[in-house]
Amino acid sequence: PVVASAERVVQHAKRTPVSVLDATQALSIDTVPDMTICLRKDRTTMENTVAIDVTASKANQFTVPPCPQFERQELQPVETFVVNAIAAKDSSKEYRVMLDSIRKPKDPPTLCKVLLALRGNTLHQLTGNPKSHAQLLHWLFRLDPFLNEKHDKLPDLYSLADAHFHLLLALVSANTVFLQSGMTALWRLLTTNAQEAPAERTGRIHAALATMLRLVPKGNSELFPIIASSFPFRTRPKQELEWYSRQCLTALQYVPTLHAQMLEMLLDKCLEMDVEIKIGNGGQVSIDESNHSLDNAEEEMFELELHNDTTRKPMEQDKVEEKVDEMADKLDSLMTILLEHIQAHSAKHGAHSMYRMVSPVFDSSILTTHRSKFVQFVILFICGLEHNQFSENKPPHAPVAQLDREFAAKLIDIVLDPYRATVTRQSGACYLASFISRAKFVSPETSCETISALLKWAEAYMQSDYSTRASDLREQCDLHSLFYTVCQAAFYIICFRGAES
């Protein structure tokens, strides 16, 4: 169909001088997104030619089904009614009846015909003067077109949805001022009360959204704020969080430019759940329910002295354990979805590309987050994937894995950077020690080089002359906290990797 459409445009261009608008009108709405139409002007002949580059789009699988078909005698009265209603605007009874049919859909076949009629001769009136039809447009974008069961007078279960989506696409292509409302409407349909929706329904919504973005490419940069602002709160049910995360990753198939932002968003959501789970010095696990106010901070400071966790009532302890299990279950689910996506993407494009997207998130979020316990293993997982890819069926003189050395060098740079905050440098030392000690794929050479870099810095620190001296032991620990952290990191690595290194 794409090639046939291209041939029609070329023949049309040969007959008459054409513009981009003429070429677009020669194509159907379903084939426009799958090709790039460029208008070139030849200065020597001063003739306009249309060059059509038919490319194999990655989003070919996301294609909106055609509009439902009705007999002409069925559709003609509805078209006449809609044309008269739009011409009279909101002052007529016909306009109010049409508005009520969209606001409270009780007759799906009639509503389907109304949507098809609005896509016809009256479309230019809606897009040319949107303020006069603001209420109608509002309810069109708020409409939920999915039926619970098939209607006898409709071709299939999704006929109303197909008519609605084609109308939304026509509105957006005619006037890009509706782009934000159109994307919001489709994303809301995709994520609202749809956990048990069939794949055919979600596929239609994704196809409509992908087509809309191909019609108006600038929507690629405006879609992410809609996705991020609609992400369910961490207290929502696990199934809702799972569904939303999977739909976000599905959207990457036709909006790959949002990959890094989407990963950052999912990692941030996992971090929020991670820090909610508190593990005390005695191993007690609880949920952090503080509102981070000053009063609560002061109360928590003396909580260990005034209260003992062992004095909790059994019922209260059971509630705490239930909340911890629930939050941990949600975190496990999101981490599983995220790691599965990372593994699938790395198998196809290599782990290095995934590391390039996740590494900035480590710097901006994971490294600076206090009490992060689980999310940081994403980096270790990516480095391990690269090691496994190079280890399996490794031929002679094949390249070796480098991500583990690159990540270790990155952490060493953080520790040795004098312009970073001390807390950040301490976190870098802790992550470095944990990574080198726990990752079995890290070579002994990397372990030795890491220990050497840490101990050389510690030696230089001791030989430096400081004008400020500590007055007591506590002040000494605070003053030289980075030195003690670096030494502890080096000893930690020696304990785990000293024998093999």
Residue 28, pLDDT score: 36
pTM over 0.95: no
Distance separating alpha carbons of residues 33 and 222, to the nearest angstrom: 18
Distance separating alpha carbons of residues 120 and 141, to the nearest angstrom: 18
Residue 307, pLDDT score: 45
Q: What is the DSSP string of 382-422?
A: HHHHHHHHHHTTPPTTPPPP-HHHHHHHHHHHHHH-TTS-H
CA proximity to 405, closest of 463, 449, 364? 449
Residue 466, pLDDT score: 60
Q: Which helix (H) or strand (E) holds 100?
A: helix 93-103
Whether the Cβ atoms of residue 415 and residue 425 lie closer than 8 Å to each other: yes
Adjacent-strand bridge partners of 286: 278
Distance separating alpha carbons of residues 398 and 406, to the nearest angstrom: 18
Residue 21, pLDDT score: 30
Distance separating alpha carbons of residues 468 and 484, to the nearest angstrom: 17
Widest CA span of the chain, in angstroms?
A: 96
Residue 67, pLDDT score: 79
Indicate the residue type of 102.
Answer: I
What does the angle CA 324 – CA 325 – CA 329 come to, to the nearest 5 degrees?
120
CA proximity to 489, closest of 451, 444, 442, 446? 451
Adjacent-strand bridge partners of 287: 277
Handedness of CA 429, 432, 434, 437 (dihedral sign): negative
Residue 335, pLDDT score: 94
Residue 50 phi, psi dihedral angles, 5° rounding: -110, 120
Q: How many CA atoms lie within 13 A of 309 on its CB side?
A: 14
Distance separating alpha carbons of residues 380 and 404, to the nearest angstrom: 8
Helix runs in 351-402, H state only: 351-361, 377-391
Residue 146, pLDDT score: 85
Q: Which helix (H) or strand (E) holds 375?
A: none
Q: Is 366 left (phi over 0), alpha (psi -120 to 50) or beta?
A: alpha
pLDDT in single tens digits along all 501 residues of the chain: 444 444 543 454 444 433 323 333 333 333 333 323 232 333 333 333 322 232 334 445 788 888 788 888 888 888 888 888 888 876 778 888 888 888 888 888 888 899 999 988 888 888 888 888 888 999 999 998 887 666 777 777 888 889 999 999 999 999 999 999 999 999 999 887 666 778 888 899 999 999 999 999 999 999 999 999 999 998 888 999 999 999 999 999 999 999 999 999 999 999 999 888 877 766 667 777 664 443 444 444 334 443 444 455 666 667 777 888 888 899 999 999 999 999 999 988 889 999 999 999 999 999 988 888 889 999 999 999 888 877 765 555 555 668 899 999 999 999 999 999 999 999 999 999 999 998 888 989 999 999 999 999 999 988 886 655 666 667 777 778 899 999 999 999 999 988 886
Whether the Cβ atoms of residue 291 and residue 318 lie closer than 8 Å to each other: no
Distance separating alpha carbons of residues 90 and 95, to the nearest angstrom: 5
Q: List all residues 6 or more positions away from 315 whose beta carbon is below 8 Å from its beta carbon.
A: none
